[in-house]
Amino acid sequence: MKTKITEMFGIQHPIIQGGMHYVGFAEMAAAVSNAGGLGIITALTQKTPADLANEIARCKDMTDKPFGVNITFLPSLTPPDYPAIVKAVIEGGVKVVETAGRNPEQVLPALKDAGIKVIHKCTSVRHSLKAQAIGCDAVSVDGFECGGHPGEDDVPNFILLPRAADELEIPFVSSGGMADGRSLVAAIAMGAEGMNMGTRFIATKEAPVHENVKQAIVAASELDTRLVMRPLRNTERVMNNAGVERLLEKEAALGDKLTIQDILPEVAGVYPKIMQEGYMDAGAWSCGMVAGLIYDVPTCKELIDRIMTQAEEIISARMMGMLDAKVSV
C-alpha cells in the first residue's frame, strides 16, 4: 500500500510503532522496521545521550530498514540534555524523528538541516496546525482513545481525524485505538495516510517487556483503562491495577489540593518495575482502550502481514463489492 507516509519515510507499509517508555528499545524498533513498518526508539528511556547513540547503533546492526527516534519534550526543573540527544540522532544517521509533548520548534532547525523528517504527536487540530506552521513534515493525530496522554479536549478519532483532514495540508497518521486492518482502512477513509500503534505492539513476541505485561493487555477489555492526573491537567490513560486504584483514591480525597508530590509513589520510577520485572500493581503505565481488540501475542511480522491482508480484503472485497452491487442494481 503506497501512501504519502510510506513515500516520505521510505517504508513498505503505512504503519508506525509509536515511541513508548521502556518499550522502544532497539529490539522493538528493528522488528517493526524489518516487518515493513517504521520502528521507533524512545530517546528518554535511555539514561544518557551516549546510551541513545549506542541504542541507535544496536538497531542498525539489527535492521537495514528505516527506523526513527522519539524525542518527548517534558516540563521539568532538570530537563534532559536535548541538544546532546539531537546530536546523537543526527550522528547516528537516523532519518525520522517522532516528537511529542511540548512544542519541538527548538530542535527543528538542526533536524531539518540534517535531512531528518519530523512527525509530531498532537491531540488536537489546533496543535496539529501549529506543528504544520513551525515546519513539521507530518503529524500523528492522537484521539481520546489513546494510551498515554490524550490531552484535555476528549475528542475521539471519529471526529478528530476528519477534522484534521479538513484543516491540514501536511500528511498525518491516526493514533489511538489502532489495532488491525479495520483500523487502518477506517483511518485512511477519514483522511489519514497511515496509522501509529503503541499498545498493540507491546503485545508482540519481540517487545522487550515482561510476559506479565503482554498477558495483562491480552486479558484486558476496552473497559480496563483509567484516566489519571486529570486534576493536574496532565491526563494520562493507563491500565487499571491496584496502584492506579490507590492513585485515584488520593485524587478523590484531595480534590483540588492534589499535587504531583501526592502521587509520586504511583507514577515515579514505576516503568522498570512493571515493564522489566513484571510487577503489574506497581503503579500507572500507559495503555490504550485498544486493549479490548488485542487477543494474542504474534510476531511483529505476523501482526503487520495480518493487518495488511485484512485491509486489502476490506478494500478490494467488501468495499468494492458494495460498489459493484450498486452498479448492478
Asked if the structure places residue 299 within a domain, the reply is: no
Please indicate, yes or no, whether residues 251 and 169 belong to a single structural domain of this protein.
no
Asked if the structure places residue 294 within a domain, the reply is: no
Give the Cα-Cα-Cα angle 44, 46, 52 (nearest 5 degrees). Answer: 100
- What's the pLDDT at 182? 98
Asked if the structure places residue 309 within a domain, the reply is: no
The predicted-structure confidence for 121-176, as pLDDT tens digits, reads as follows 999 999 999 999 999 999 999 999 999 999 999 999 999 999 999 999 999 999 99
Measure CA of the first residue to CA of the last residue in the chain; give whole Å: 31
Please indicate, yes or no, whether residues 146 and 50 belong to a single structural domain of this protein.
yes
**Domain limits for position 85:** 4-208
Give yes or no for residue 83 having a pLDDT over 90: yes
Burial grade of 64 (CB within 10 A; 0-12, 13-18, 19 or more): exposed
Please indicate, yes or no, whether residues 61 and 23 belong to a single structural domain of this protein.
yes
Residues 6+ apart with CB under 8 A from 59: 26, 29, 30, 39, 41, 67
CA–CA separation, 118 and 135 (whole Å): 9
Please indicate, yes or no, whether residues 75 and 54 belong to a single structural domain of this protein.
yes
Q: Which residue among 175, 190, 208 closes a domain?
A: 208
- What's the pLDDT at 326? 62
Distances (CA, A) of 160 to 134, 145, 146, 261: 21, 11, 12, 33
Please indicate, yes or no, whether residues 187 and 78 belong to a single structural domain of this protein.
yes
The predicted-structure confidence for 100-113, as pLDDT tens digits, reads as follows 999 999 999 999 99
The DSSP line for 166-195 is HH-SS-EEEESS--SHHHHHHHHHTT-S-E
Q: How many domains does the chain have?
A: 2
Please indicate, yes or no, whether residues 246 and 149 belong to a single structural domain of this protein.
no
Please indicate, yes or no, whether residues 230 and 201 belong to a single structural domain of this protein.
no
Q: Which residue among 208, 240, 270 closes a domain?
A: 208
Q: For residue 320, what pLDDT band results from cuts at 50, 70 and 90? A: confident
Please indicate, yes or no, whether residues 199 and 241 belong to a single structural domain of this protein.
no
Show the cell assigned to 292.
Answer: 479490548
The DSSP line for 214-281 is HHHHHH--TT-EEEE-GGGT--EEEE--HHHHHHHHHHHHHGGG--GGGGHHHHSS-HIIIIIT--TT
What angle, rounded to 10 degrees, do the helices at 157-167 and 125-134 form?
Answer: 40
Asked if the structure places residue 300 within a domain, the reply is: no
Give yes or no for residue 248 having a pLDDT over 70: yes
The predicted-structure confidence for 274-293, as pLDDT tens digits, reads as follows 999 999 999 999 999 999 99
Please indicate, yes or no, whether residues 187 and 268 belong to a single structural domain of this protein.
no
Asked if the structure places residue 317 within a domain, the reply is: no
Please indicate, yes or no, whether residues 139 and 272 belong to a single structural domain of this protein.
no
State whether residue 119 is helix, strand or coil: strand
Sheet holding 96-101, edge to edge: 15-17, 195-197, 172-175, 138-142, 117-122, 96-101, 67-73, 39-42
Q: Which residue among 191, 208, 225 closes a domain?
A: 208
Asked if the structure places residue 302 within a domain, the reply is: no
